[in-house]
Amino acid sequence: MKDALEQIRSEALADLAGGGDEAAIEALRVRYLGRKGELTTVMRHMREVAAAERPAMGALLNQIKDEIEARIGDALAAARGRARAARATQSIDVTEPGRRPALGRLHPLMQTMDDVVDVFRGLGFSVAEGPDIEDDYHNFEALNFPADHPARDMQDTLFIDGGDLVMRTHTSPVQIRVMETQPPPLRVIVPGAVYRHDSDTTHSPMFHQVEGFMVDKRVTFGDLKGVLTYALQRLFGADRPVRLRPSFFPFTEPSAEVDIGCFACGGRERTCRICKGSGWLEILGAGMIDPNVFRAVGYDAEEMSGFAFGMGIERMAMLRHQIDDIRLFFANDVRFLRQF
């Protein structure tokens, strides 16, 4: 057995002295030290060695095994060093096309919201935010929605635990929170998400609004019309006609719906699928702040006046990009989002 062990040592050391890459050295390790390797095969015959010689043979076998393992480690380190050196000397082809990284971009709703906020910031409006979960007082009562007011039926409200808390149905509660803590004059814009129990091609349970309001002495309906006309023409084009129609909202009096001229047909097509032949597109609601709202926040309703407006970001984005299904904004289809 001693002769067999010595022969394995000499052959292994000779093979490892020849160098080679990592794969070749791994093959030598398997050949000599693997489960079916030559050294392992010899170890299985130790029981056939005479008892008196067995300690010496065991010591010799362990010595040879350790020596081969050490030599394999050295050979692997040398092979890896040669591989690194070879890679370092490889030339780089600067003319080879690179890989364009996939860049993220703003969601079309956030793009539209940012555009709206930027326009009103340019008019001196500051930005305010409020909680998505509101109490009944700020969401309804302080905005002139008494408990038995029929206008509450206009809101498909999502109640929380059947109590006093609701998912806010509009961003108008922030108007109350700002006026409760800040004296006039005020110019404030409030972007944010709102929630209603509604879902179809033009409505979503969660959508986005931008509320805006201005409070000061001697603010008039003419100020409201001027601000909204300027803002909408900045957003939809300087030649876009704007009109106001009488309407009703509990927290404004008088109230108006604001329309813009149809950009699809210019009011010339009776069969236009966008404006339904009317030539106009409803874009937002507005009005002069009701005196009851001022009284709820402690303002002098005889001295102060102001206007408020609210617009749906999804509707604006659908009109700007001629999208006919609101659900596309929330489907997260990359093919749709990459168009923006």
DSSP state of 259: E
Domain 108-337 annotated CATH 1.10.10.10? no
Count Cβ atoms below 10 Å from residue 44 Cβ, excluding itself.
8
Residues 6 or more apart whose CB falls under 8 angstroms from that of 87 comprise none
List the pLDDT tens digit at each of the 340 positions of the chain: 677 777 777 887 887 787 778 888 888 888 878 877 787 777 777 777 777 777 787 787 788 888 888 888 888 888 888 888 877 776 777 788 888 887 778 888 899 999 999 999 999 999 999 999 999 899 889 998 877 776 566 557 788 876 688 889 899 999 999 999 999 999 999 999 999 876 665 567 888 999 999 999 999 999 999 999 999 999 988 888 899 999 999 899 999 999 988 876 766 667 777 777 788 888 899 999 999 999 999 999 999 999 999 998 988 888 888 887 888 888 888 888 888 8
pLDDT in tens, 210-241: 999 999 999 999 999 999 999 999 998 888 88
Q: Please, are residues 67 and 17 in contact by the beta-carbon 8 Å criterion?
A: no
284 vs 258: CA distance, rounded Å: 5
15 vs 28: CA distance, rounded Å: 8
- Tell me which residue of 115, 108, 110 sits closest to 336, measured CA to CA: 108
Strand (E) positions, the chain? 126-127, 133-135, 158-160, 165-167, 186-195, 206-216, 242-249, 252-261, 280-289, 305-312
Taking CA atoms, 133 is separated from 30, 171, 322, in Å, by 67, 11, 32
Q: State whether the Cα torsion 294-295-300-303 is positive or negative.
A: positive
Q: Please, are residues 86 and 75 in contact by the beta-carbon 8 Å criterion?
A: no
